[in-house]
Copies of this chain bind each other. A is one copy, B any other.
Amino acid sequence: MYGHRVTMEDVAAQAGVSRALVSIVFRGVPGASDATRQRVLDAAVGLDYRPDRRASRLGRSRSRTIGVAFHVGDAFHGDLLGSLYRHGDTAGYEIVLSGVTASRAHDEAVETLLAERCEALILLGAQQSRTDLARLAARLPVVSVLRNVHAEDIGVVRTDDAAGLRLAVEHLHGLGHTRIALLDGGRAAGAADRRRGYRVGIRHSPGLSEALLPGGVTELEGAEAARVFLGLGSDRPTGVAAFNDRCALGFIDVVRRAGVRVPDDLSVVGFDDITEAAYPHIALTTVRQDAARLGAEAVRAVADRLERGTAAGSVTIEPELIVRTTTAAVQSGEAGRRAG
């Protein structure tokens, strides 16, 4: 019904050359004259031929394939995939995707990639245990993106989470805020480091003290934190640094509807700089994670280990504060209280 499979053999016959020559042309290596090259390409177009990647990967000694496990539907992972595709391509590696879903755990996603004989693994937001990761790293190069795992031989590419939160706190402090709370991320990737960064920021800014609100990863948890916040009464913080943008967005949504004006009464800083944060009607002040660079570094880390046998290392990318409209200087009353 759908016609027979066309192979290199067919192209070779059509162009009047050997199979090996067709392979040379398609791999783009030297060994064929320009005239022959053109003849082979023409024959291939005529037959609507494209090399079979399964056979190609099997035939060559190295699969030149990087397996990537990602969380399906995660917007930031989406941005990272874009970058990984781009840089994988220029480095000469194919990217093979394996999605983590509610019913498809990390282990299963990784298992698929191993069966595919990937040469290395890039894990986005890895959630495996330290032992599982170490066992994996004994088989092939593994780099964890976003999450700072301390397992042996695991490369890490991440944003300097602590520095990011310190930026957020200093920004708020610079605007005159003295009661600055953290919407904590609990056990999420990067949460411990961000908590630490928040604490350092507080300690280094004279007159500040810590206040942690239980937050989380999604808008839902931000909304819940907002209810706790609203219950705080007059002692409320005037500045909030959130674990991430989605949490910040849920938080803002609820406090605004309770009559709290952002940024007049309350300043909020997010983390990530997801696409929505830049929408004019949202315009969230946030700490940007650079998806393009994170992806580039992940590919580079993997390629270095594969090609130069470099040891697994850790790459930390500096975040950047993006000031938009959810933060502002404290209002006079508050400023007076601070001056006093």
Residues of A within 8 A of B (CB): 1-3, 5, 48, 50-55, 57-58, 63, 71-79, 81-82, 85-86, 97-99, 101-104, 111-112, 114-117, 138-140, 218-220, 223, 226, 250, 253-254, 256-257, 276, 279-282, 309
Contact = CB atoms under 8 A, between A and B. Distances in A.
B99 A250 contact: no
Contacts of A279: 218-220, 223, 250
B97 A281 contact: no
Nearest to A262: B257
B82 A102 contact: yes
15 contacts: A1-B309, A2-B138, A52-B58, A52-B117, A53-B116, A53-B117, A54-B54, A54-B116, A73-B75, A73-B77, A73-B78, A81-B101, A86-B104, A223-B280, A257-B281
Contact of A104 (B72, B77, B82): B82
A226 B52 CA distance: 51
Contacts of A1: 309
Given A219-B282, A220-B281, 18 more contacts: A2-B139, A5-B117, A50-B111, A50-B115, A54-B54, A54-B57, A73-B73, A73-B74, A74-B78, A82-B99, A85-B103, A86-B103, A97-B99, A219-B279, A220-B279, A250-B279, A253-B281, A254-B281
A51 B50 CA distance: 26
A220 B74 CA distance: 19
A79 B116 CA distance: 24
A85 to B, nearest CB: 5
A77 B75 CA distance: 11
A291 to B, nearest CB: 10
A125 to B, nearest CB: 14
Contacts of A57: 54
Given A2-B140, A81-B72, A85-B104, A281 B53 contact: no
Nearest to A116: B53
Contact of A117 (B54, B220, B226): B54
Contacts of A98: 97
Nearest to A253: B281
Nearest to A78: B73
A239 to B, nearest CB: 21
Nearest to A309: B1
A86 B103 CA distance: 8
B50 A58 contact: no
A282 to B, nearest CB: 7
Given A74-B73, A77-B73, A99-B85, A114 B50 contact: yes
Nearest to A5: B117
Nearest to A137: B2
Contacts of A81: 72-73, 99, 101
B103 A223 contact: no
A296 to B, nearest CB: 13
